[in-house]
Amino acid sequence: MQPMDAGEWLQVQANLVELGQSIEKWTHTEPDPLALRCEYSRHRTLAHLRACQEQWLVVLRAFAERDNPCVTVLHPWRHFEAMGYAALPWDVHMAAYLEGRQEWIRLCRQTDPNRGGKWNRKPDSVGGLVWRLVSHEHHHISSLRNA
């Protein structure tokens, strides 16, 4: 990812906050065992977004704390499956998602967007990672609206 200028960084951070607030307003839904993909279940989407945010938060923390770290994390779907997220209650997912989002916001405000390292052997930066999370969430929210 190209280095981010101050204006781009402020916009990405604003998007991070706005998407988190939008997701916080979602209404409770029960797990749907027949929903194999996110597009068909708001519960599964929230659980998936939680898994992504948690896994990528490991990377964000490392980028913020150390110079040029190399971090390995599970793919979010593997984390989702390993933690049994499909069957966990809505309130558990929402609480964890919101707590994680607050840490993302705090770390973003304290860290240079161009600081980085590697995760799963690929180079990235704080700004690139936040952009990835924002883009990913936007995609899933749009998919739910179109379902």
Full-model pTM:
0.93
| Average confidence (pLDDT) over 114-124 | 97
Domain membership of residue 8 (yes or no) is no
Tell me whether residue 14 is in a domain.
no
Long-range contact pairs involving 89-92 (C-beta distance under 8 Å, separation at least 24): 90/28, 90/29, 90/30, 90/43, 90/46, 91/28
**Is 76 inside a domain boundary?**
yes
Q: How many domains does the chain have?
A: 1
Does residue 11 fall inside a structural domain? no
Spell out the SS3 assignment of 46-99.
Answer: HHHHHHHHHHHHHHHHHHHHCCCCEECCCCHHHHHHHCCHHHCCHHHHHHHHHH
Residue 19 lies in a domain: no
Is there a domain that residue 116 lies in? yes
Residue 52 lies in a domain: yes
Host domain of residue 83? 37-146
In this predicted structure, the answer to whether residue 146 has a pLDDT above a threshold of 60 is no
Structure confidence by residue, pLDDT tens digits, 64-85: 999 999 999 999 999 999 999 9
Residue 94 in any domain: the answer is yes
Q: From the CB of residue 31, how many other CB atoms can be counted at a distance below 10 Å? A: 17
The pLDDT tens digits for 11-61 are 999 999 999 999 999 999 888 777 766 667 899 999 999 999 999 999 999
